[in-house]
Amino acid sequence: MKKSVKILWLVAFGFLGFIILLVLLINFRIIGGMPSLDELENPRASLASEVIAEDGTILGKYYQVDRSSSDYNEISKNVINALIATEESRFYDNSGIDPKGTLAIPFYLLIGKKRGSSTITQQLALNLQADNGKQRSSNPLYRGFQKIQEWIMAIKLERNFTKQEILTLYLNTVAFGDNVYGIENGARTFFSKDAGHLSIEEAAVLVGMLKGNTIYNPRRNPQNALIRRNTVIDNMLKEKFITPAEAASAKSKPIVLHYNKIDHNKGLAPYFREVLRDELKGWCKTHKKSDGSEYNLYRDGLKIYTTINPRMQLYAEEAVAKHLAVLQKSLFAQNDIKTGNVWKKWPKFLDQYMKESDRYKAMKEDEASDSAIAKAFNTPTRMKVFGWKSATEPDLNEIDTVMTPLDSIKYMRAILQAGFMAMDPESGEVKAWVGGPDFRYFKNDHVAKTRRQVGSTFKPFLYCFAIMNGMSPNTVLPNEPININGWQPKNSEGSTGGSITMAGALAKSLNLVAAYLIKQIGAKAFADFAKNKVGFSSDIPAYPAIALGAVEISLYELMQGYTMFPGRGINTKPIYITRIEDRNGNILETFAPVKREVISEKEAYTMVKMMEGVVAPGGTGARVRSRYNIQGEIAGKTGTTNDNTDGWFMGYTPKLLAGAWVGCENNFIHFSTTAVGQGANTGLPIWALFMQKVYADPTLKIGSNDHFPVPPNMAEDDIYMNYDSNVQPGAESENVGNGSADDYGSGAADDFAQPGYDQPEPTKPAKPKENKENNKEKEEQKPAPKATMPAQPKKDH
């Protein structure tokens, strides 16, 4: 044998030995990091975690890649047939590697053509590698190494899985563009249906996208997608999966998309989902999988079952949007807002917000001078900003306009914020959660993440404590000027004199009576009750002004405090997760409400009856019935803080407790008149609009025929409440009080068609009342203020 031939054989055998050694090293996972046999038998493709509503619908997802998972029997045969016909017609005839296709590669390369030889099983192996962070390499040598890995993995997959399982795994891992992974998610995103009901033409569109999920994306490139779809249909006909008639019918139809990509900034309950995300991150850190690693919210396909009712959530979001749109016109119509004079006393805040903007940071990175930045922020610029256009279609609430970036900051800071929450007071289940006007523009959650002064919504706890200390709803109290260590509160309408029952004082929200009570009971004793008995975690300082709600509490926490009234004395912590499951449906944890008895059932019912006076004629929340015509048993409390900064309404029926807050992010931006800024005009209408829709929806089984259960030990005299007196209604405007009687005489805008104060009326004619004639006095009616939006609103980006 010639030396050259011998060398050739040595090289050939050496190369073959190297390849065999390389295969063995890869197979036994000594090099390359190939998944173990256990990992191949139990592939852990990255799955999005799903937030599931009370009725089983998906509220949203948390993901790095938006992927879903399906079983074989949940996938339409049209998809399976289209896939095999297009990707690998010999799928059922090989064992993971197509020898014929692989051997043909060199011949195609010689004639300058590119030919793919990867089987569906090999493509699955590539997808599983990519899911573990190993992307397809562009380096020819390393790509060859990856190819060997794929061959080995393909053979192992074929040995450990059936053909059906391989097809299912493949379809659960492929990408369909728009960061959508998995056939189920592809079907839902592009056609708004599950994968089991895809037609021939729809299946062909999705399978056609596998060749190039951008170039053949029907949303981006509809013509390319149509051509590719028809090619797939032809392949299905060629492989005899469909008849010529079916192929002709499918090809004759246009591509009709029902695109519905789940976006965390959109959809129902985005504020709730963001709050939930933070809680779930903490949960994942404290819970381990079987291998000892922490759960990953974005990859492990958790299913989080929540208590959110989609219908109530929709009604809540629409109520907030509808009323804020009306109120916003009134705020923008104020002279100090229109002219920008409101910022003259607060230039440091304006400077702060400018420096926090993306525009400022970008210019600083480009080393722009301070003078150049100042000039840019005072130069009119085309931009998009938030603006109310529709209560039912949030995507429309965007305005193309021109304004200076500095003016855009002023504009956006003057957008009214809101928080709204509804829950079952006995079970603690949260049914609706609205944290603000639009999550795309305003990320702060005003249900659980922010605390504001609560004003007179805190008074029911004071009155409850007085009841517990021997007073009665019909105990007569003075409405006289009072001095407590130099603190001299006033009724905002300035009225003094006369006397009134506790029930009447709460209904009319009289500050002087509340101050009298705190003086008798003691600020320290009441603060201890609020913190240690009711369970408020917020700071409740032991000074007299807490009688008028001079404490900062979140809406979420205030809702928990209120549960003890309709909950028959039981304080129930709101609950919004019922259980968490893993991707296979195994329950990882269940959640139950935390309950504590705070007051007796009799005391709770007494407070319910007292708070019914708030929405009765003469009460500060009378417009619930007179203006919104909501009937049945309802109790609640209005609240407004100093300078109309915060407007509140807490209301409940026998089956539902809901609360609303309205205000601006900055305390110095507020309504200039109590007529518009009081809680009865800001928070209450949101509650009322929501309840109107709840009552009108028979599927919710909540209505005007529901009744608060009367404790068995309640006597008739205990139930009777005397709300009537010669004392005018109070308001929560001054000293964290609630508006004047006159202030209740005008509505905010178009939604409030009839201005005029609802006069006190005898609620129980059989019982005699004092000064009855005085209650018939008519209050002066004021016209509703005209309201207009600024001509050119804009926002800095």
Whole-prediction pTM: 0.76
Lowest mean pLDDT among 32-46, 59-73, 537-551: 32-46
The answer on 118 and 7 residing in a single domain is no
The answer on 240 and 91 residing in a single domain is yes
CB within 8 Å of 615: residues ≥ 6 apart? 621, 622, 624, 625, 634, 635, 636, 651
The answer on 148 and 6 residing in a single domain is no
Q: Kindly state whether residue 788 falls inside one of the protein's structural domains.
A: no
The answer on 17 and 69 residing in a single domain is no
Q: Kindly state whether residue 355 falls inside one of the protein's structural domains.
A: no
The answer on 133 and 17 residing in a single domain is no
Q: Kindly state whether residue 445 falls inside one of the protein's structural domains.
A: yes
* Cβ contact 791:776 at 8 Å: no
The answer on 5 and 83 residing in a single domain is no
Mean pLDDT over 182-195 rounds to: 92
Instruction: Give me the pLDDT at residue 402, please.
Output: 95
CATH number at residue 634: 3.40.710.10
Q: Over the chain, what is the mean pLDDT?
A: 84
The answer on 550 and 484 residing in a single domain is yes
Mean pLDDT over 653-673 rounds to: 96
Q: Kindly state whether residue 348 falls inside one of the protein's structural domains.
A: no
Q: Kindly state whether residue 326 falls inside one of the protein's structural domains.
A: no
pLDDT at 766 > cutoff 70: no
Instruction: Give me the pLDDT at residue 142, please.
Output: 52
Q: Where are the beta strands (DSSP E) in 29-107?
A: 49-52, 58-62, 66-67
Lowest mean pLDDT among 485-489, 719-723, 778-782: 778-782
The answer on 627 and 697 residing in a single domain is yes
Instruction: Give me the pLDDT at residue 110, please.
Output: 52
Q: Kindly state whether residue 663 falls inside one of the protein's structural domains.
A: yes
Lowest mean pLDDT among 103-112, 699-708, 716-725: 103-112
Instruction: Give me the pLDDT at residue 45, please.
Output: 63
CA distance 66 to 177: 10
Residue 742 confidence class, pLDDT cut points 50, 70, 90: very low
Q: Which of 216, 233, 262 is the last residue of a domain?
A: 262
Residues 96-115 pLDDT 10s: 666 555 555 555 445 555 54
Q: Kindly state whether residue 467 falls inside one of the protein's structural domains.
A: yes
Q: Quote the domain boundaries for residue 5.
A: 1-31
Q: Which residue has the higher pLDDT, 453 or 13?
A: 453
Instruction: Give me the pLDDT at residue 144, please.
Output: 59
State how many domains the chain has.
Answer: 3
pLDDT at 134 > cutoff 80: no
Instruction: Give me the pLDDT at residue 34, please.
Output: 62
The answer on 248 and 196 residing in a single domain is yes
CB within 8 Å of 711: residues ≥ 6 apart? 568, 601, 602, 605
Instruction: Give me the pLDDT at residue 213, please.
Output: 87
Token look-up 């090999």 returns 122
The answer on 113 and 26 residing in a single domain is no
| The CA-based dihedral angle spanning residues 606, 610, 611, 614, taken in that order and rounded to the nearest 10 degrees | 170
The answer on 633 and 712 residing in a single domain is yes
Lowest mean pLDDT among 251-265, 523-537, 572-586: 251-265
pLDDT at 716 > cutoff 80: no
CA distance 769 to 762: 8
CA-derived radius of gyration, the chain:
34
Q: Which of 203, 235, 262 is the last residue of a domain?
A: 262
Q: Is 383 helix (H, G, I), strand (E, B) or coil?
A: strand
Q: Is 795 helix (H, G, I), strand (E, B) or coil?
A: coil
Instruction: Give me the pLDDT at residue 116, please.
Output: 54
Q: Which of 231, 247, 262 is the last residue of a domain?
A: 262
CATH number at residue 182: 1.10.3810.10
CB within 8 Å of 414: residues ≥ 6 apart? 331, 332, 337, 342, 664, 669
Token look-up 């507020």 returns 670
End-to-end CA distance of the chain: 79
Lowest mean pLDDT among 383-392, 574-583, 656-665: 383-392
Instruction: Give me the pLDDT at residue 755, please.
Output: 25
The answer on 756 and 695 residing in a single domain is yes
Q: Kindly state whether residue 536 falls inside one of the protein's structural domains.
A: yes
pLDDT at 302 > cutoff 90: yes
Residue 39 confidence class, pLDDT cut points 50, 70, 90: low
